[in-house]
Amino acid sequence: MATADMTTDATPQVDCPSAEELRRLARGHLTDARQAVLTAHLDRCPGCQGRLDEIAADGDKLFTGCMKKLCEPPAPKDSAFWDAMSEVEAEVTGTTPSDMAGNTSANLSDLKLDFLQPTDTPGRIGRLGAFDVIRVVGRGGMGVVLAAFDESLQREVAIKVLDPQLKSNDTAQHRFCREARAAAKVSHDNIVTVYQVSEEEAAGLPYLVMQLVNGETLEDRLRRIGKLSIEEAVRVAMQAALGLAAAHEHLLIHRDIKPANILIDAATNKVKLTDFGLARAAEDLKLTRTGFVAGTPLYMAPEQARGDGVDPRSDLFSLGSVMYESLAGKPPFEGKTPLVVLRRLTDETHEPLHKLNPEVPDWLEDVIDKLLEKNPDHRYQTATELANELTVHYACLKPATMDKVEACPMTQVRSWRSLVRSRSQRKFVSLLAGTFLLGSVAGATGMYFLRPRGGASSEVALAVPDLGPAELNQTDNLKAGAVWSLSPSPDGKFVAAGMEDGTIKLWNLNGGGVSDLGKHDGSVWSVNFTPDGNRVVSASGDGTVQVWNVTSMMMEKGINNRIPVRSAAMNADQTSIVTGDATGMVKIWDIESMGPLLPGGVPDKPRQEFVHRGTISAVAFSPDGTMVASGSANKTAILWDVKTGKAVQRLIGHEGPIYSLAFSPEGDRLATVSWDHSIRIWDTKNGDLVKKIENAHEEGVWSVSYSCCGKILASAGQEGLVKVWDIDNTEKPIRVYSRHKGTVHAVHFTAKGTQLITGGRDGTIRLWKVRD
């Protein structure tokens, strides 16, 4: 399977920015995505580089220093500089990584804190900028980590300061600047959040202000208990894979995944990846010309050890090494010296995991073996692919308690797999069992095809499903990856689904099958039937919004946004579409001005644009069309006045990214859900929080929907549960459904409010009975 070249600059050409926008770029006031676009433009435009240098020289010392270092040409290959660099690298990477969990593993005896300013606050050791420093947490290869208190926001934070001993070290300064840029690019619940980047002016030391994770590193946990249980090992790996998927989506490769860089929150057990100090934006090769290997040998990928090019699959090898150690109690490749380790991981095969831990199930050993393949082409090709598989298995390891009537398919397979250890034998038995099963199903139910619709695709009839007590119908696995979005037609006859592989599926609920309505070149994050039920609006990671005719099965119109669109919706009178994209932009488009979607070319122009920082995961029109709501990865929702284009309410309170939102039928309430496990209901007139359901789900909440009466709410969670709530009494849900195998990404009431449709990572759509 081919892997996308992470070094390719796919950023669209843009006009030279204004002086004001360059100032905002220099001060860090742009959205992450807009910053990435302008940075790519600067690489190609010497004129704007000069303008930016002048702006930066006006007073932003940290930015000026970083820009100078990033633009310096590398020394010649035969320069003595590289010998000195090797010595510096050995010194820098020889220290133990910082431990944000509170255990100082490095030697702090020679650490001087004279860069801290005096403080009058009792119990504090000094002051750095606006922060009172509480204690030293740890010391790593690049810097010192301090625990501090942010007085303005009343919260504890972690501050990573460039180690004062490395202040005069150009390589260290260069890497620290790089870490600031890399870490600030990604916002995800499984990555330590970077709040700001600043500089201690007196000492000239740059520092990052980050989320403080109270807990321990995976390294500490393994040192304390030896190895993890099967369930915990899968959970840790699953969440780490989700964090890597977010980083890779931003073209960032971590390069140093190891137990010390995996933090585990004590309160929630949530995994956080940290220390992107060795991560580099894959499209920028300036730092890779040095010729030295970056990373930790015990967990390094073979191509990384050889000094060859790396890509996201290198991080997956490292994660596989971490998984192996979590279950075996030791890394897959060990040696007395780093050179011995490097030779073993490039030339030898690891010891079979089941010999060290017989409790490891075969499927998990197969996952780890695949991650540890020497050839990257033989590994999982994306972190998302790995996360998907682990999520399905994790749901079986940790079954829910309600409506779960079927046996886990993984344990059903275990009975015959446990008899066969060799991989070749397993493949033969799998083929034999699959052939037998297919013949049995075909003979028992009969499989048939209906006539193609619209000349485009075939409608495949569904086998008789195995339904739970409250389940009315379901699809088979649609073989198109995860279901990311769903929309029922107003007449209740069809369900549209947006799929991971870019297809839009149309499920006929009146005894029909599933058809392909259309296809994008990227995952379909959002689908919505138009109010008249004749069309479906889809939004995709390919940067387009498309309008499909349900009768002709053809695309009628399209919008070329050029930037991934995470959500789109149409207003009630069907004159406008609102979109939210990965750059934090909320845009309103006129339907009449939309034409056929043309490949390439310049982006289409919206009627209005609103700036909401962070990736926009959800947008919606109010029922009367006067307001637009947007929910962002920056943990806020905003209500916009469509007529004036102004933000009328900013809804602040969530502690994680907002994934979904929904207006009540009357439009007087807005429900928002977040990765912080909560559901919040807001008054749209004054912005007040009127209801909060803490810990509505054990993990993040992906989707929310109002019933037509406005008194019932449905939510879907990362743990695989769908819950129905009586808004007047939210002490506990009135219904819980749990037959999905893995995360449920989408939930939606049908028009009459008597049924629910759900879809998720297992690739199925399910129809549930809520009430008669």
Per the annotation, binding residues for ATP are: 160
**Do residues 704 and 686 touch, judged by C-beta distance below 8 A?**
no
**Do residues 319 and 342 touch, judged by C-beta distance below 8 A?**
no
Backbone angles phi, psi at 10, to 5 degrees: -100, 15
Run of H or E residues at 327: helix 312-328
Residue located via tokens 């994008």 = 520
Helix spans in 398-452 (H): 409-417, 423-445
CA separation, residue 275 to residues 179, 296, 634, 735 (Å): 8, 13, 21, 42
Q: What is the DSSP string of 169-210?
A: -HHHHHHHHHHHHHHHH---TTBPPEEEEEEETTTTEEEEEE
Backbone angles phi, psi at 736, to 5 degrees: -140, 130
- For CA atoms 685, 686, 689, 690, give the dihedral sign: negative
- Angle at which helix 61-71 crosses helix 46-56, to 10 degrees, equals 150
Cβ-proximal residues to 451 (8 Å cutoff; 6+ apart), any chain: 459
Q: Can you say which residues are annotated as belonging to the binding site?
A: 160
256 is catalytic: yes
CA distance 506 to 488: 10
Dihedral of the alpha carbons of 579, 580, 582, 584, in degrees to the nearest 10: 130
Helix (H, G, I), strand (E, B) or coil at 72: coil
Residue of 459, 460, 457 lying closest to 445 (CA atoms): 460
Q: In what order do the strands lie in the sheet with 271-273?
A: 215-217, 262-265, 271-273
CA separation, residue 279 to residues 246, 477, 700 (Å): 13, 36, 26
CA distance 66 to 45: 18
- For CA atoms 422, 426, 428, 433, give the dihedral sign: positive
Q: How, if at all, do strands 585-590 and 608-611 pair? A: antiparallel
- Specify the DSSP class assigned to residue 579: E
Residue by residue, what is the 3-state secondary structure of 474-538? ECCCCCCCCEEEEEECCCCCEEEEEECCCEEEEEECCCCCEEEEEECCCCEEEEEECCCCCEEEE
Q: Give me Rg for the CA atoms of the chain.
A: 27
User: Any idea what the Cα angle at residue 110 is, between residues 109 and 112, rounded to 5°?
Assistant: 110
The number of residues in the chain equals: 772
Helix (H, G, I), strand (E, B) or coil at 758: strand
Of 32, 189, 256, 762, which is the active-site residue?
Answer: 256
Residue of 610, 619, 524, 541 lying closest to 582 (CA atoms): 541
Residue located via tokens 């192996």 = 324
Residue of 586, 594, 556, 551 lying closest to 569 (CA atoms): 586
**Do residues 725 and 713 touch, judged by C-beta distance below 8 A?**
yes
- For CA atoms 431, 436, 441, 443, give the dihedral sign: positive
Dihedral of the alpha carbons of 104, 108, 111, 113, in degrees to the nearest 10: 40
Catalytic residues, which ones? 256
